[in-house]
Amino acid sequence: MAHNNDFDHVAGNGLINRRHLLELGLAGLGAAATGSALAAEATPAIQPWQKTPGPGPSGYGAPSPATAHLQRLAATPNSAAPGTGSSRTPLQHLRGTLTPNSLHFERHHSGVPAIDPAQHQLVIHGLVAQPLVFSYEDLLAYPLHSRVYFLECSGNSGANTAPNPDDGTAASLHGLLSCAEWTGVSLSTLLDQAGVDPAATWVTATGADAASMGRSIPLGKAMDDVLIALYQNGEPIRPEQGYPMRLFVPGWEGNVSVKWLTQIKLTDQPANFRDETSRYTDLLADGRSLQFTFPMGVKSLITSPSGQMVLRRQGVHQITGLAWSGHGAIRQVQVSADGGQSWADARLETVNQGLSLTRFHLPWLWQGGPATLQSRATDARGNVQPGRDSWLAQYGANRYHYNAIQSWAVSAQGEVKNVYA
């Protein structure tokens, strides 16, 4: 049996050196994982599906029935506001960094419109030399650019601003977060062709949903890296993501990436739409409100072990999670197993491309004692993810743009629970 002092500890309460773990080899790992060198012998057998042909190819693939639990967590429908609401990505069940299109989170303000792409039009007008109308087919003929970007709703994780911690999962608490390869036309290309009037300072974007959801974006960002996205992970974007076209504003709060994009109007002032005044603004403790809080703050989250999971064995567990920042690439993720008393650097798995999700890992030896798991991200600009108390001291009753450190408590029974620590 592996003992506690067989491991090279990098921080308190069981965080261990991954290189040491590799040197220890499989035998040591197995012993540590089972807690016994005398595991029952395995009995491999030929299975029924090895004795009969399975079904043939299909038109559009579907996941295994064994993974039927991989569902978005959808809010119950609201008859007073039909079509509004959200569904959340089951972050705790996914690995890697790309979100499958069927599991990308949703947030709708008046449901998903059934758009005929042949009838859909994108109008660019206002403070331009020549107003222009584009069809979906027109946009497909332009040079397309592909980049991997995260998308996070500004209301994500807002449940953790409540006075008492909700006994939730990574999905229920933080699932308004997804990541995909988005492919589309640079908005600047089309704005250049319409001819931006020197008086223009803002761009307003409106969707073709029943709520005509609108947001205002400074012209500087619009001319920088904003896409009119047509593809998501290689296929035409899904209806719930804005088919046939959505704005995609990298790194910024989700709802500026207006779905079902049908109107771009250049103006000399923000429109102050309902969803950038009454909503998505940050009421501070002193009574003032921050408006146009665009880049999503540096943030990370341990996705496993995470809320409502149960550790069923003592031994080495792989702590893994996601980190991201609307200000640029992730430079460092630290992990603590003792509620922030000591920290160790996690390994960053993915190529560190800015404005996308970065996955991190760190091995952890759990020997049946209580633990509080946390992660803390730092981005390339030096922004450090805040603790919950310091976030609340700044933002008070606000529920948007919550990016504080998530704490998962592990009980002696191995039950993992959302806590404030």
Partner 1 sequence: MSMPEVRFVLFGAIIAGGLCACTDSPEVNESALTTTNTAATASALLPSLGQAVSESALRDIDLIVLPDGSNLPEGSGTAAQGQAVYEAKCAACHGVDGTVAIRGVPALAGGSLSAPQPTLTVGSYWPYASTLFDYIRRAMPPTEPKSLSNSEVYQLSAYVLYLNNIIDRDQLMDRSTLPQVPMPNHAGFVDQSAL
Binding test (CB under 8 A) with partner 1, winner from 14, 184, 244, 270 = 270
Residue of 161, 395, 162, 163 lying closest to 284 (CA atoms): 395
Site string for partner 1, 172-191 (x = CB under 8 A): -----------------xx-
Q: Check binding of 192 to partner 1 (CB under 8 A).
A: yes
Given the complex with partner 1, which of 37 and 81 has the nearer CB atom? 81
Residue 275 CB, nearest approach to partner 1 (Å): 9
The alpha carbon of 261 is separated from its chain's Cα centroid by a whole number of angstroms, namely 22
Stretch that binds partner 1, among 121-129, 231-239, 357-365, 386-394 (CB under 8 A): 121-129
Beta carbons within 10 angstroms of residue 249's beta carbon: 27
Query: Which position has the token pair 């005398």?
Result: 38
Q: 164: number of CA atoms within 13 Å, CB side?
A: 1
**DSSP assignments along 18-77, one per residue:** HHHHHHHHHHHHHHHHHS-S-PPPP-----GGGSS------SS----GGGTT---EEPPP
**Which position among 17, 71, 110, 161 is part of the footprint of partner 1 (CB under 8 A)?**
110
Q: Which of 194, 227, 316, 329 binds partner 1 (CB under 8 A)?
A: 194
Do residues 315 and 366 touch, judged by C-beta distance below 8 A?
yes
Closer by beta carbon to partner 1, 273 or else 364: 273
User: Strand, coil or helix: what is 104?
Assistant: coil
Looking at the Cβ atoms of 240 and 282, the one nearer to partner 1 is 282
Contact 4, 364 (CB under 8 A): no
Which of 125, 238, 347, 388 is in the footprint of partner 1 by CB under 8 A? 125
Interface with partner 1 (CB under 8 A), residue from 131, 234, 369, 382? 131
Residue 199, judged by CB atoms within 10 A of its CB (0-12, 13-18, 19+), counts as exposed
DSSP secondary structure string, 148-196? EEEEE-TTTTGGGGSSS-----HHHHH-SEEEEEEEEEEHHHHHHHH-B
Of 252, 254, 279, residue with least CA distance to 398: 279
Q: Please tell me the distance from the alpha carbon of residue 184 to that of residue 106, in angstroms, as a whole number.
A: 20
Among 29, 98, 290, 384, binds partner 1 (CB under 8 A): 290
Binding mask 135-164 for partner 1 (x = CB under 8 A): x-xxx-xxx---------------------
Contact call for residue 109 and partner 1 (CB under 8 A) = yes
Rule CB under 8 A: say whether 33 interacts with partner 1. no
Binding positions for partner 1, rule: CB under 8 A? 78, 80-85, 109-110, 118, 123-125, 130-135, 137-139, 141-143, 189-190, 192-194, 204, 206, 210-212, 214, 218, 263, 265, 267, 269-274, 277-278, 281, 283, 287-294, 397
